[in-house]
């Protein structure tokens, strides 16, 4: 545990609190809507990704159904069901869709989870008050990787 913590600290740029290998939202490169490289420089954790589908800033099932998560009540129907998403899309495409779905699907209702610029009347989370400057992205780089790792397991 301790060793892990120390090595993590060594590879992190402490001044910004962002790991050295992390690609900041404004630097993400999209190719046909896909993003080839890990945003955090690390592999994703599918189990952690599964939790984000239900909770917090992810809350993907507000809009998407996932049969294998049918123990979670109230799955939304705004977007397509994500069953088989791991067959339909490559890992790079999934990363692009989660980071900024508006590149792959122009005008989509799906929020951009790893974008920090270009908002209109940006609020401070759900307070209804203005947010000065740019916000934190909805998901961190590692959370995006976790979600992508989870989505690749959705095969039929």
Please state, in angstroms and rounded to a whole number, the distance separating the CA atoms of residues 94 and 1.
32
Quick note: the x/- pattern for ligand HEC over 3-42, rule CB under 6 A, is ----------------------------------------
Nearer to other proteins, 23 or 115 (CB): 115
Of 23, 97, 141, 149, the residue at the interface with ligand HEC (CB under 6 A) is: 97
| 71 touching other proteins, by CB under 8 A | no
Tokens of 37: 């490289």
Site for other proteins in 41-70 (CB under 8 A): 59, 61-63, 65, 67
Instruction: State how far the Cα of 37 lies from the Cα of 20, in Å rounded to an integer.
Output: 14
In whole angstroms, what is the distance from residue 47 CA to residue 15 CA?
A: 30
Residue 155 binds other proteins, judged by CB under 8 A: no
CB 144 within 8 A of CB 113: yes
Instruction: Find the shortest distance in angstroms from Cβ 86 to other proteins.
Output: 12
Examine residue 125 and tell whether it contacts other proteins (CB under 8 A).
yes
Please name every residue paired with 61 in a beta bridge, in sequence order, or none if there are none.
none
Q: Which of 13, 31, 5 is nearest to 100 (CA)?
A: 31
Q: Is 126 left (phi over 0), alpha (psi -120 to 50) or beta?
A: alpha
Interaction of residue 84 with other proteins, rule CB under 8 A:
yes
Nearer to other proteins, 71 or 120 (CB): 120
Whether 68 and 81 have beta carbons less than 8 Å apart is answered as no
151 near ligand HEC, judged by CB under 6 A: yes
Give the residues lining the site for other proteins (CB under 8 A).
Answer: 59, 61-63, 65, 67, 73-81, 83-84, 88-89, 105-109, 111-112, 119-131, 135, 138
């Amino acid at each position: 545990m301790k060793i892990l913590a120390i090595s993590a600290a060594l590879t992190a740029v402490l001044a910004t609190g962002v790991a050295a290998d992390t690609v900041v939202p404004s630097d993400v490169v999209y190719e046909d809507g896909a993003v080839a490289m890990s945003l955090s420089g690390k592999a994703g954790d599918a189990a952690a990704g599964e939790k984000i589908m239900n909770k917090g800033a992810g809350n993907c099932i507000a809009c998407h159904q996932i049969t294998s998560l049918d123990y979670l009540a109230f799955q939304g129907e705004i977007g397509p069901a994500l069953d088989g998403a791991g067959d339909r899309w490559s890992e790079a495409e999934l990363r692009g869709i989660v980071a900024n779905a508006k590149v792959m699907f122009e005008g989509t209702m799906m929020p951009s989870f790893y974008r920090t610029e270009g908002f209109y009347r940006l609020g401070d989370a759900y307070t209804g008050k203005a947010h000065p400057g740019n916000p934190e992205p909805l998901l961190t780089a590692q959370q995006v990787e976790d979600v992508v790792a989870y989505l690749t397991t959705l095969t039929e």
